[in-house]
Structure 1
């Protein structure tokens, strides 16, 4: 059975989310809505959907998402029952009408090879209009390979084996930025992710969403550093040399464009040196000086 967990806070686009659930061609799912002490009550709206699909609504009296979004996800997941599979759906995202049907169509083959299922995705704006192509993926792909190619990722487009969520948990990065990407790596045991390209999840990008908001760039940058630092220090053994160098180039940019974070420099330097990447480290130092003189 599939549980669709919605960490709720914003009412603005919530009706479109609910309507997409009511429109599913396969209704074999249960929805668990965890209200993060929102000032915008969804109760009146939810009453309109009482008989359209199966759901449980719970209001938490303390706002947690403002402190730790990943902890809000986890307490919402704790509302679920004995379902094996968990989708964490944003309160502004929308499922294509055949998402659940496609999930069950593929489930027998999927369970033998992966703990994660991914759907194709498309970005939409506040009016529900597409603002991107449909992002499809290889049918079967190593999660490590995914982070090294040009694509995108959002939490709503994945279905996770609940056992993996409970055993591993989400890493608590600021704004949960990259927490979902790391979850894909860790919940898959750095192995295969299976994609269902025949169904699409629509990801809403507006100034109300974390992805679309431009006032949180500093926190996003901090989370980006934490993510790459975690991979390079805690999961280094999962990557070959060329992948480590690429990750180091990404984390190096976190310092090059924010030199006030001097501790970043020392942590990055340590990673280069303990991996004996002396030539690449010289390139890192050179890029710092180049960036300084270019700004002058």
Structure 2
């Protein structure tokens, strides 16, 4: 019933990912590995785990993830066969031993509530596999609007890998191709689960690896991530605005404001003002303007403080 899809590119942590699949207490799953024309051949690792679980390994002739991670996800999904559920597992993430077992143990309730999206609890690990953000659980049943506003308020976290999606929904609605696939998973959770709930299994978890090799840990792509946040919020406000309460829209705008402050321009400023007026009201736009002025004043004061400190050091040197 479960297809675990791995869009493969990086070798460094892949052994631990495969080991976590070998350790599953229930082997009712099949793994589909789509090699995105990687320069790092994983064949020796696959040979190591031969017979530990069922897998299908395919090498693509061209690299697609470099230009579109979402398109790479979709061509890996196309490798799957008759499974009903899909998990897209990162090649550096690690599953707890009981993920598959608990998924099946909860099948009755998942089916009764017509669930399309199942999620696991999460831990966050570093390059050494050390946990630096401990286990995070979720409400057993939660709608996607509440989830997104909790995430934007930093009251929860999520990634693609800890979710299982009903395959027919994925094939029908598909993942949307946002920049770096940043928020593509968030949008998918909204689109795939609505109008039903997200179902959480909190006794099983995924360890999300954050390293310099991951998009999350790569600070050089921050501008692209901020632009993707603008793109994501534009979709929320243009297609799903009626699904969110006024309070939830305020949280979305707060998230967008952080992105704006990192990529300020006249175009993004106009977008922010328009969103505040349309989604909340004119007063909200005025308050945003005052916050922006306050932010600029703080920046100026910081610069003056730095200048004063540098000048004080210079004056001491001159006196000597």
User: Which TM-score band (shorter chain)?
Assistant: over 0.9
- Superposed displacement of residue 108, structure 1: 1.8
Aligned to 1:154: 159
Aligned to 2:128: 127
2:85 is the counterpart of 1:85: yes
- Superposed displacement of residue 111, structure 1: 2.1
Q: Residues 253 and 129 (structure 1 numbering): CA distance in 2 closer, same or farther, change over 3 Å?
A: closer
- Superposed displacement of residue 265, structure 1: 1.9
Matched residue SS, 1:160: strand
- Superposed displacement of residue 214, structure 1: 1.7
CA distance in structure 2 between the aligned counterparts of 1:249 and 1:203, rounded to whole angstroms: 26
- Superposed displacement of residue 115, structure 1: 0.5
Aligned to 2:34: 34
CA distance in structure 2 between the aligned counterparts of 1:197 and 1:222, rounded to whole angstroms: 33
Note the residue ranges of structure 1 that are not aligned, 5 or more in a row. Answer: none
Q: Summarize the alignment of residues 87-236 of structure 1 with structure 2, pairs less than 5 Å apart.
A: 87-113=87-113, 114-149=115-150, 150-236=155-241
| Structure whose residues are more often helix by fraction | 2
Aligned to 1:49: 49
TM value normalised by structure 2 = 0.89
* Residues 122-152 of structure 1 deviation map (CA, whole Å, 9 limit, x = unaligned): 0111121111110111111112111222010
Paired residue total: 295
CA-atom RMSD, angstroms?
1.3
CA distance in structure 1 between the aligned counterparts of 2:28 and 2:91, rounded to whole angstroms: 20
CA distance in structure 2 between the aligned counterparts of 1:121 and 1:275, rounded to whole angstroms: 33
User: Paired residue for 1:285, among 280, 283, 289?
Assistant: 289
Aligned to 2:259: 254
CA distance in structure 1 between the aligned counterparts of 2:65 and 2:281, rounded to whole angstroms: 39
CA distance in structure 1 between the aligned counterparts of 2:239 and 2:272, rounded to whole angstroms: 14
Is the Cα contact below 8 Å between 1:87 and 1:159 reproduced in 2?
Answer: yes
4+ residue runs over 4 A deviation: none
CA distance in structure 2 between the aligned counterparts of 1:84 and 1:30, rounded to whole angstroms: 11
Aligned to 2:318: none
Aligned to 2:313: none
Is the Cα contact below 8 Å between 1:6 and 1:76 reproduced in 2?
Answer: yes
TM value normalised by structure 1 = 0.96
CA distance in structure 1 between the aligned counterparts of 2:280 and 2:138, rounded to whole angstroms: 35
Note the residue ranges of structure 2 that are not aligned, 5 or more in a row. Answer: 301-320
Looking at CA atoms only, which structure, 1 or 2, has the larger radius of gyration? Answer: 2
* Residues 202-259 of structure 1 deviation map (CA, whole Å, 9 limit, x = unaligned): 1111111111122211111111121122111221111111211221222233223322
- Superposed displacement of residue 191, structure 1: 3.4
Point out the more displaced range, 30-39 or 183-192: 183-192
CA distance in structure 1 between the aligned counterparts of 2:74 and 2:223, rounded to whole angstroms: 25
Matched residue SS, 2:272: helix
* Residues 255-284 of structure 1 deviation map (CA, whole Å, 9 limit, x = unaligned): 233223x22222222223334601101111
